[in-house]
Amino acid sequence: MITFPGFKGFWVTGPGRKKISLYVCIKIIAVRFRTAIIVLTGLLLGRECAQQGSPSGGPRDEDPPGVVSCEPPNYSTRFAARRIDITFDEFIVLDNVNQELLVSPPMKEKPEVKLRKKTLIIEFTDTLKENTTYTFNFGSAIKDLHEGNKLLNYEYAFSTGDVLDSLSVKGTLRYAGDLSVPEEPFTIMLYTDLGDSVPLKQIPLYVGRSDDKGIFSVNNLRPDVYKVFALKDGNYNLLYDLPTEVIGFLDSSLQVNAEFARSILEASGMTDSTKMETGTTADTIGMAADTIGMAADSLASEGPDLNSIYIDLMLFTEASQVQYITDYKRDDRRRMEVVFALPVTDSFRYRSVQKEAENEAWLLEHFSVNRDSLTLWIRDSLDYKKDTLQMEFSFTVKDTASRFVTSTDTLAFTYRKKQTKKQKEQPDEIEKLEVSTIRNKSQLHLNSHVPLNVNFPITRVEDSLIRLYHIPDSVEVPEPFRVMKDSLLLTRAWIAADWKSDAKYRLFMLPGAISNMYGLEHDTLDLAFSTRDIEYYGQILLNLDSVDHRVIVQLINRDKVSRSKVVESDGQVIFSYLVPQEYTIKFIHDLNGNGKWDTGNYLRHLQPEPVEFLKAPVTVRSNWDHEVTMQLEKQD
């Protein structure tokens, strides 16, 4: 028992009050506390029992909302209402409905869409066209309230005439460069005006949308001849008016009617005309006013849809036709760099704004392979020590009337060395030529050269100051080598030799071996390395058939082109010294013979150059020959 010196107890107030000790007080409190704990525990247990009385949990709802009724009924004819009510079997929410809702044919004023309990309400004020079938496609806008399950591509259709148009244009989209399927939705646009400028100036007559597998279906079309255009609509205005928008188009106009659809299917062997039901030959279908349900068509349906035309569209972005300077910089005091949107022509000129008498020798110019970037090396220290150099660049552009004119830009190239306060207080270090190459004690592939990268343009390589040794048994044996200046970069050279398999080497290079335009010296380079065993590599023996023009064959590994060869006839193409990895083989039909893949151009009626892929990737194993065969598709 705990005691407190000098404490004798306290008085309890009220009738018959009496003095009690501290010990008695503590006992009373303890008893009452235990009673409170028992009562509270009982309450909690009672609540827990009460909770167990109502069901909880269960499987997660994964079903999308279902349509219970439509007013007017879906697929109605002689439609004259201004409001549509679509009631679902559960509460729903709308997600980005203004962008997801497609009305075909488009209305000038987009309908107003709102929710009231479980009912989706569509109200519109536009005057409806006579004898026209309208389709409302909600994309991925409709989902249930609690789980977010989406009702994808729900369509409500009606006709203002006596019949509901029943024809469709269906197909798939692929990116032309790699044949991948677009996961993002594209708008499919149909026009009865067949003029070339229509997608640029007019909204389409009918619209549809592709799904995340690149499959699309534009439904409820009347028989006609259409221009077909696919668009990644960057500003949601149903016009091809942005140069960065991805597009696809059909080469020729498309005839859409039931007889033509059946003739195509018969010619392809997809259907037997003797098995066609006579009730499905009409281009339009009369629908009862109380019809409320119709299964959505898709390319995954069993058998072909006899009222549909099937097409494939290749997607691409047109090459920019606008010339301008995209970037310029001066990261090094001695170097100015300019990047253009397009390759510059022979009329391209530049000059210094600050120098009164122009002397071309004060700069060393170097264009990239495609002539879309320019590097200017400043020779004289009196010039490159200036913080800012002003340059004027003149190049050819097209004006708004598509005439070639000269445009001139003046750029200020500023260089300021970034230094901390401590660095500024230290004396300047002697500037040297920096040489980078493979890591010390690393491995070199048998089909490779040793790179020599420096930070300034190379003027000369002195072979006598370079030694290459082969080390077979701890003894250094001089190895013949050759030095090659890089044809694309002024700041790179290569050391080549007939490398032996699984061998050790030493590269020794004295100062002065590499000379540069600024007279800077590099440090001594002493590098040890080895080569791979030849049995480490595998090779692919590719047998090509049906080559009737130039074809570029690419080996792709981890989304990068690792090897490329040009072939112009049937035969075997050998890719040797391949690292054991998985390779995809791509074939580019170089129809214009310029050595690269070219994108399309809509107004010039040019589709992107076709590409193909070997059906399955090739997994290369060490010391194995992998023989594969590819028969290319004939190109018109």
Q: Locate tokens 């004819």: which residue? A: 77
Please choose, from the candidates 136, 159, 143, 148, the residue with its C-alpha nearest in 3D space to the C-alpha of residue 209: 136
Do 531 and 541 share a domain, yes or no?
Answer: no
Do 455 and 510 share a domain, yes or no?
Answer: yes
What does the pLDDT average to over 59-63? 83
pLDDT, tens digit, for every residue of 64-93?
999 999 999 999 999 999 999 999 999 999
Considering the domain boundaries, does residue 385 fall inside one? yes
Considering the domain boundaries, does residue 551 fall inside one? yes
Considering the domain boundaries, does residue 320 fall inside one? no
Considering the domain boundaries, does residue 428 fall inside one? no
User: For the whole prediction, is pTM greater than 0.85?
Assistant: no
Do 90 and 177 share a domain, yes or no?
Answer: no
Do 146 and 181 share a domain, yes or no?
Answer: no
- Percent helix, strand and coil across the chain, each to the nearest 5: 10, 40, 50
**Mean pLDDT taken over the chain:** 86
Do 185 and 309 share a domain, yes or no?
Answer: yes
610 confidence band (pLDDT: 50, 70, 90): very high
Q: How many CA atoms lie within 13 A of 224 on its CB side?
A: 15
pLDDT, tens digit, for every residue of 239-291?
999 989 999 999 999 999 888 777 777 776 665 544 444 334 444 444 333 33
Are 308 and 219 a contacting pair, CB within 8 Å? no
Tokens at 105, concatenated: 């044919």
AA letter at 406 = T
Tokens at 625, concatenated: 């020959």
Q: What pLDDT, on a 0 to 100 scale, did the predictor assign at position 276?
A: 41
Q: Give the CATH number, domain containing residue 481.
A: 2.60.40.3710
Angstrom CA distances, 62 to 65, 146, 149, stand at 10, 10, 6
Q: What pLDDT, on a 0 to 100 scale, did the predictor assign at position 27?
A: 45
- Render 179-206 in DSSP notation, one character per residue: -PPP-S--EEEEES---TTHHHHS--SE
Q: Give the CATH number, domain containing residue 82.
A: 2.60.40.1220
Please choose, from the candidates 98, 99, 246, 103, the residue with its C-alpha nearest in 3D space to the C-alpha of residue 182: 246
Q: How far apart are CA 110 and CA 97, in angstroms?
A: 11
Considering the domain boundaries, does residue 57 fall inside one? no
Do 542 and 530 share a domain, yes or no?
Answer: no
> Dihedral, CA atoms, 146, 151, 152, 156, nearest 10 degrees?
-140
Considering the domain boundaries, does residue 135 fall inside one? yes
Do 371 and 451 share a domain, yes or no?
Answer: no
Do 136 and 258 share a domain, yes or no?
Answer: no
Considering the domain boundaries, does residue 423 fall inside one? no
Q: Mean pLDDT lowest for which of 356-370, 401-415, 531-545, 576-590? A: 356-370
Do 205 and 297 share a domain, yes or no?
Answer: yes
Do 261 and 292 share a domain, yes or no?
Answer: yes
What does the pLDDT average to over 454-475? 95
Q: How far apart are CA 154 and CA 156, in angstroms?
A: 7
Q: What pLDDT, on a 0 to 100 scale, did the predictor assign at position 278?
A: 36
Do 527 and 462 share a domain, yes or no?
Answer: yes
pLDDT, tens digit, for every residue of 613-636?
999 999 999 999 999 999 999 887
pLDDT, tens digit, for every residue of 531-562?
999 999 999 999 999 999 999 999 999 999 99
427 confidence band (pLDDT: 50, 70, 90): low
User: Percentage of the chain with pLDDT > 70?
Assistant: 82
Considering the domain boundaries, does residue 425 fall inside one? no
What does the pLDDT average to over 431-442? 94
The last residue of one of the domains, among 473, 504, 535, is 535
pLDDT at 472 over 80: yes
pLDDT at 475 over 50: yes
Q: Report the number of distinct structural domains present in the chain.
A: 6
Q: What pLDDT, on a 0 to 100 scale, did the predictor assign at position 403?
A: 87
The last residue of one of the domains, among 473, 503, 535, is 535
What's the farthest any 2 CA atoms get from each other in the chain? Answer: 122
Measured CA angle at 77 (ends 75, 80), to 5 deg: 110
Q: Give the CATH number, domain containing residue 626.
A: 2.60.40.10
Which residues span the domain enclosing 589? 537-631
pLDDT at 426 over 50: yes
AA letter at 411 = L
Q: How far apart are CA 409 and CA 393, in angstroms?
A: 5
What does the pLDDT average to over 433-454? 96
Tokens at 71, concatenated: 């007013």
What is the CB neighbour count within 10 angstroms for residue 198? 19
Measured CA angle at 80 (ends 77, 81), to 5 deg: 110
> Dihedral, CA atoms, 94, 99, 100, 104, nearest 10 degrees?
130
pLDDT at 398 over 50: yes
The last residue of one of the domains, among 137, 159, 181, is 159
Do 515 and 580 share a domain, yes or no?
Answer: no
Q: What pLDDT, on a 0 to 100 scale, did the predictor assign at position 584?
A: 98
Q: What pLDDT, on a 0 to 100 scale, did the predictor assign at position 92?
A: 95
